[in-house]
Structure 1
Amino acid sequence: MGIEMARIAFILLCHKDPKGVVAQARRLTASGDYVSIHFDGRANPGDFDLIREALADNPSVVFAQRRWKCGWGEWSLVGATLEAVRAAVAAFPQATHFYMLSGDCMPIKSAEHAHAFLEAEDCDYIESFDFFESDWIKTGFKEERLVYRHWFNERTQKWLFYTSYELQKRFGLERRVPADIQVMIGSQWWCLRRQTVEKVLDFCAARTDVMRFFSTTWIPDETFFQTVVPHVVPRKEIRSRTLTYLIFTDYGMPVTFHNDHYDLLMGQNYLFARKISPEAIRLRERLGALWAASGVHFPISNEAGGLFRFLTARGRIGRRFGQRFWEAEGSLGRDNTLLLVVSKKWHVAKRLTAAIRAQAAIPAVDFVFNELDAHLPDLGGVETTVEKRDRHRRALIRLLFQQFESHRLVLCLDPSALPLIQDLTSDKADTRLLLIDSRFDDDYLRGHIARVGLAGSETASEVIERLLPMVRADLEHEAERLRDLDFAALHSIAPWRSPEQNAAQLARFLDVPAETALALARTEYLFSD
């Protein structure tokens, strides 16, 4: 038995692209549906003000009362979702369904089709597989997600996260899952009926013990709703699937859809899809128009998953999908500009990238091929080891362009990495070099000798003194080898030049206004040791 007159309250979690959020909210509410927005508390306040102002006169839009500062793998994502759900339940009494969406999602069916689909069967759509028995988790932590307490963010507080885990493990501080709860796991993209959502909120209010338990589990957005819904709703009323279409590569990254995927997406038995490339303007326009269309017939083929596996497994090259992306020898993109900051003194380069992030609005990462903590965004596991990054260097850089949604990227390299520099400068992308010239005094050289293991704490001082001129000559030779490449787009800054001279080099290297370049050149203690 179905539901009469489905009306959807979309729970929209987002953290960027305010114009896209506004367009999405207007599109979804134009079909008679509702939108409840949670905009990340860490995001740009100006972006949030823009969204609120643009949607202020839309009675079908509501905002979460509390804005959580969200972090991947944290309870904050569940807290933000619950906040948006509570706002929607209170504001939209006529909503029959509550549908989780992100800013990267787009409809792949008409609203007319989506309403008819939800009206056809009285059920909830949420992936819900047994946490311990299923193979939903392929690698990494499994039981450890639950039996240990996780207070820290694995991405931004890696040392605290793993130290806390190791201490709990060493001292046997495991905990039990609440006795009457069967933990389930699945995709965070669900669509639930109103009565189910109300039961979930009642459960949250009544079972503070379960809330406490999940608040310190790891990646609870894959387990909380997936566990609670089967606890409050009969299993026969749950369809263990998502209505949002997404494909993962065998490297664990979600596939991004482009302009030539329109027909393929329409043929899938889903209502929405993620991720739609921000550059796929034509696809976004067509899908936006599709949501408002009426009388459209959708022949369901469901071939996308099989087609994707066929094309990637065979390593074929085509417009839809090319080789496995980490095997591709292709370009970083003719339209992209890769800005390489080359410096022996890493602390100087990192001061510059910090200033660029703050003042030039250009994405900038640090020594990604040398250090784990390099201001990388979450890339779904590609970034977890330095070795993996170097092995799949072009794939990593392409992902960074996509993740930052930018055609420009600053990246730091050590001048000793000459083969890597030559590899990147030979690409079809617009690649530029900025060499940070340095003087190497004796104190710096002694520290460098210790860091690279040329000498230890027991090494005689006279041995170190004999090493100093050799190491100095070696470091200076690295910079000379770089100059010998005679690379056309080589720029340089140095502590012995004036801020105005350095600013002229920075302006050309970054393509920024003279005043921005001068502000960067005048960064406090930029060249200090």
Structure 2
Amino acid sequence: MSVGIVMLVHTALGRAEQVARHWATAGCPVVIHVDKKVDRKTYQEFQASMQDVPEIDFCKRHYCEWGGWGITAATQVASEKMLAQFTDVRHVFLASGSCLPLRPVRELIEYLDARPRTDFIESATTSDVPWTVGGLDIERFTMRFPFSWKTQRRLFDKYTALQRRIGLKRRIPKGIVPHMGSQWWCLTRQTLSAILEDPERATYDRYFRKVWIPDESYFQTLSRQYSSNIESRSLTLSKFDFQGKPHIFYDDHLQLLRRSDCFVARKIWPHANRVYNAFLTDEDGAMKRAEPNPGKIDRIFAKAVERRTRGRAGLVMHSRFPNEGWENGLTCSNYSVFQGFTELFEDFEPWLSKATGTQVHGHLFSPERAEFSGNQKVINGGLSDDPNLRDYNGAAFLTNLIWNTRGERQCFQYGPMDSQKISTKISKDPNAQVSVISGAWAVPLFRANHNFSDLRREAARLQKIENKFLYKLRSPNAKARIRIWTMAEFIESPMEPLQTIIDEIGNAPQRRLSEVPKMADLKGFGQFLQNLKNQGMHPHLMGDFPINDGPAVSIQKPRKPYLVK
């Protein structure tokens, strides 16, 4: 007894010839179906090139289009010729022109000889398979699909939507339970002949002609009618990506293919010379006898899919950039954002740098320029302080800054006078540590020498901007680590929040603060706020300030005690 190989070929005919000869030399007869889209001259030359091998034959050709009936029809005619012409064949193995035997063919023959009545075909009901891609599970069996998904996509989608809207459903033939699975199977002569000679075949063919992707359901469904022993798995290693497209194996995958222990792999790049040479000409280097186990490399494929779709956190690549959320997080590491601190403290930036050992920038999103630490014009990665370059894509600017300076925590100032386009991204970034003293933007206005009517308008504008930012920070969608203090409660006891911030950054060994930055002189600030109220602008974000001298300079009101352990 032997194994018959049905090959479906449409491209890379030179490689298909090489593999067909390999099968035939090992004692396996081959019937080849060539897609009718291949021109006649090329087909005749391909056919003539193998006339010297009597074990290789060709069958009637069909037009084969992905998702259509042609592939199933091609499989039927090739299988019929195999069963009729090669009577000693007990198992028929379906392969493509890009399939490659990974183990000596005699091992496949011996493996199937030991299982003479076993059919190897992946076959599961639609409710049991989680890997269908395209939004159609049971619907592919209850709707009609007269239009090509690839070449007539708009008609395909519109006709599918129409059927859903009017509730049009096809009747599944009596006794049929739709199953799905890999196209690449290995069936016994008894099961395959029963399918092809079924008295109801015309009914089944008529039904499956309008099923979407029938080559993944026709034999998978009908084999359940006749097989006495189905192993729902394929002997062919065939991996698919998250979009349902088959993975292509290259020379780099040679050792990976060896580890699979599978008999056949699909889909091999036709120019992978090392792979073809290793498995078609080097029997001594073939894999050891073992049960096929594609699961051994599933972990590698899973990681490849994750890397393709998610990538490394904070590293945007061309393949993922056009899709929102594919960057796997805005940034690659933790950073700190401070709002209101430079307004309240006169020397906050040098103090924070000394206390934490981090790189502390000014207002990176200031309208004038990106205020890099040390007044640099260009920073790691060639990032310029030019606001036009920065604002072209503020999120990418921040992503690049954190990526290019990874290993050193970055801190920068942010406020209502800065560009707000990045505010939503910051609030949703789990790597961001955001500390806000709300209302501190009023301190520079208090100290400015401008007409009060201008100060009132500016205060109203800044408060409105900050209020929107605080709303984003308090949103359920916010993922950043957020701390918000009103200005009044912060200056009442500034040591506690400053200590908390230093501890959260955690770059230096935890210790109690021995010095704090110098706070701005707030004498008369309360009266300034009252004047704004008197002019019709209510400054509510800074908390409840008394009209007399602010708490920072008051000596009558005792501060909360600070416990030093």
Q: TM-score range by the shorter chain?
A: 0.5 to 0.7
1:11 aligns to what? 6
2:272 aligns to what? 280
What CA distance in whole angstroms lies between the structure 2 residues aligned with 1:324 and 1:14?
35
| Stretches of structure 1 lacking an aligned partner (at least 5 in a row) | 316-320, 333-381, 393-418, 420-529
* Structure 1 residue 248 corresponds to structure 2 residue 240: yes
* 2:260 counterpart SS class: coil
- Pick the aligned partner of 1:172 from 167, 174, 188: 167
Question: Alpha-carbon deviation of 1:329?
Answer: 7.0
1:405 aligns to what? none
Matches within 5 A, 1:225-264: 225-234=219-228, 237-264=229-256
* Structure 1 residue 303 corresponds to structure 2 residue 296: yes
Q: Tell me if the contact between 1:21 and 1:51 (Cα under 8 Å) persists in the aligned partners.
A: no
What CA distance in whole angstroms lies between the structure 2 residues aligned with 1:59 and 1:293?
27
Q: Tell me if the contact between 2:32 and 2:56 (Cα under 8 Å) persists in the aligned partners.
A: yes
What CA distance in whole angstroms lies between the structure 1 residues aligned with 2:43 and 2:311?
37
Q: Tell me if the contact between 1:126 and 1:242 (Cα under 8 Å) persists in the aligned partners.
A: yes
What CA distance in whole angstroms lies between the structure 1 residues aligned with 2:322 and 2:167?
32
TM-score, reference length from structure 1 = 0.56
Q: Tell me if the contact between 1:16 and 1:47 (Cα under 8 Å) persists in the aligned partners.
A: no
Q: Tell me if the contact between 1:110 and 1:294 (Cα under 8 Å) persists in the aligned partners.
A: no
Q: Tell me if the contact between 1:124 and 1:239 (Cα under 8 Å) persists in the aligned partners.
A: yes
1:473 aligns to what? none
Matches within 5 A, 1:218-367: 218-234=212-228, 237-290=229-282, 297-298=288-289, 302-310=295-303, 313=306, 315=307
1:511 aligns to what? none
Question: Alpha-carbon deviation of 1:151?
Answer: 1.2
Residue-by-residue CA offset, 1:154-209 (whole Å, 9 max, x unaligned): 11122332333333334433122112111111000000111111111112x43322
Question: Which protein, 1 or 2, shows the higher relative CO under an 8 Å CA cutoff with sep ≥ 6?
Answer: 1
1:508 aligns to what? none
Change (3 A) 1:328 1:305: farther
Matches within 5 A, 1:94-109: 94-109=88-103
Q: Tell me if the contact between 1:126 and 1:190 (Cα under 8 Å) persists in the aligned partners.
A: yes
Matches within 5 A, 1:21-420: 21-65=16-60, 67-122=61-116, 123-203=118-198, 205-234=199-228, 237-290=229-282, 297-298=288-289, 302-310=295-303, 313=306, 315=307
Change (3 A) 1:309 1:136: closer
Q: Tell me if the contact between 2:36 and 2:64 (Cα under 8 Å) persists in the aligned partners.
A: yes
Q: Tell me if the contact between 1:31 and 1:111 (Cα under 8 Å) persists in the aligned partners.
A: yes
What CA distance in whole angstroms lies between the structure 2 residues aligned with 1:19 and 1:232?
37
Q: Tell me if the contact between 2:147 and 2:156 (Cα under 8 Å) persists in the aligned partners.
A: yes
* 1:96 counterpart SS class: strand
Change (3 A) 1:179 1:299: closer
* 1:181 counterpart SS class: coil
Change (3 A) 1:218 1:104: same
* 1:37 counterpart SS class: strand
1:303 maps to amino acid? K
The structure having more radius of gyration, on CA atoms, is 2
Change (3 A) 1:299 1:164: closer
How much identity, in percent, do the aligned residues show? 30
Question: Alpha-carbon deviation of 1:324?
Answer: 5.4
Q: Tell me if the contact between 2:261 and 2:290 (Cα under 8 Å) persists in the aligned partners.
A: no
Q: Tell me if the contact between 2:93 and 2:187 (Cα under 8 Å) persists in the aligned partners.
A: yes
* 2:77 counterpart SS class: helix
Question: Alpha-carbon deviation of 1:117?
Answer: 1.1
What CA distance in whole angstroms lies between the structure 2 residues aligned with 1:233 and 1:124?
7
Question: Alpha-carbon deviation of 1:309?
Answer: 2.5
What CA distance in whole angstroms lies between the structure 2 residues aligned with 1:70 and 1:215?
13
